[in-house]
Amino acid sequence: MSADRGEGPLLEVENLHVQFATSSGTAEVINGVDLTIEEGETVALVGETGCGKSVTVKSILGLLSQPPAKIPKGSIKFRGQELLGLPDEEMRQYRGQQISMILQNPMTALNPIFTVGEQMLDVLRWQGERRVGVTKYVRSKFSDNSEHRERALDMLDRVNIPAPERVFESYPVELSGGMRQRVLIAIALLSEPELLIADEPGTALDVTTEDKILSLLNEMIEETDASVLYITHDLGVARQVSQEINVMYAGEIVEHGPTSELFEAPKHPYTRGLLDSIPQLSRDIGSGIPGEIPDYTAPPTGCRFAPRCSHAEPECTEVHPFQRSVGPDRSVGCHLYEGAPVFERHSELAREDVYIGPPPWDEETTDESVRTMMPEEGEDQ
């Protein structure tokens, strides 16, 4: 399914809310997420485990089971086309073709009973198909697949897999974790998607292999000119791969900005806590951020981070902080800052403004302290 390249963002998520029916009540997991990806842009979505990153991705791809999931309000547009509520058959034309995904764990993402080649050929044959009957599937095994085979082998070669023919004929169990991850990248790029979603592709790999995979992924992205949404809990990885970062906490985007600016001057206490939690040889191991993500069935009325924030005031537990503009393409959802609301829907909240600032840290000293937390771009992680 082709899409006209027009003006406006490639992907635009607006005021997304996702709830889940549980035995303990309704879990409000995603609470008003806004996310924009422009043509050719790489954007990172960063946050600790359980903050709602994967639920956001599944919402974009139309992979949430409804019920128990429910999307009471929000909008997800791809090239201006609303994806929420789209019939399954039409959604399949987007998923896998225009929007593709690299799954998180290479050790479990591939089917162990089929060879790599069979799985790649199936992607090329059946992508976008609603259903494939047994008879049709068996007949396809005896059809001429030389063109698809050549394309699959070429893609394996492009992701720097030695002996593509051998890997093509191999079962996943015969390959290392790093090799399986390269196969997953190759499969995701087979359809030449306009948007690639990478869900922590290096999580199950050792550090050295992860670094190689990230470098390869960057090369392939540059080569294919795809836009990328990179999901990670690791700010070091986000710095390495992204142009812009969205920091997520408990189902909300709490800070957004260009990657370099966010690292030079982090605004939100949660972002600063994440940076302080990164182990460094030059200082003691940090204690991390005390506390845990709130219960989604009974989230705080005000700021969801307030129970863990050392700078919180009573007003923080009562009034929800909206996204404020704190500079060109910079926003933060925190009462420590002043600034106009980024989104029109928060205009009413802005009239009953709460301000507990200024922030206790000094902007002039932040630059140097944060630089010592993270390696420079291009250095070993």
22, part of any domain:
no
pLDDT band at 297 (very low <50, low <70, confident <90, very high): very high
Does 90 map to a domain?
no
* Residue 162, number of CB atoms within 10 A of its CB: 9
Cβ neighbour number for residue 347 with a 10 Å cutoff: 11
pLDDT at 228 over 60: yes
338 within some domain: no
- Domain count across the chain: 1
Quick one: pLDDT at residue 373?
A: 46
- Is 123 part of any domain? yes
In this model, does residue 326 exceed pLDDT 60? yes
Read off the pLDDT of residues 191-214 as tens digits, 9 standing for 90 and up: 888 999 988 877 666 777 778 878
What is the domain extent for residue 135?
99-190
Which pLDDT tens digit goes with each residue over 13-26?
A: 999 999 999 998 99
For residue range 267-280, what is the model confidence (pLDDT) as tens digits? 999 999 888 877 66
Mean pLDDT calculated for residue range 291-320 = 92
Q: What is the predicted pLDDT for the residue at 2?
A: 38
pLDDT at 45: 95
Domain contains 65: no
The CA-atom distances, in angstroms, between 107 and each of 92, 181, 200, 214, 294 are 25, 8, 13, 17, 31
Residue 167 domain-assigned?
A: yes
Residue 333 lies in a domain: no
**pLDDT tens, residue by residue, 134-180:** 554 455 554 556 788 898 999 898 888 889 999 999 999 999 888 88
Say what the pTM is.
Answer: 0.84
- 58 located within any domain: no
Tell me the CATH number at 173.
3.40.50.300
Query: What is the model's pLDDT at position 141?
Result: 54
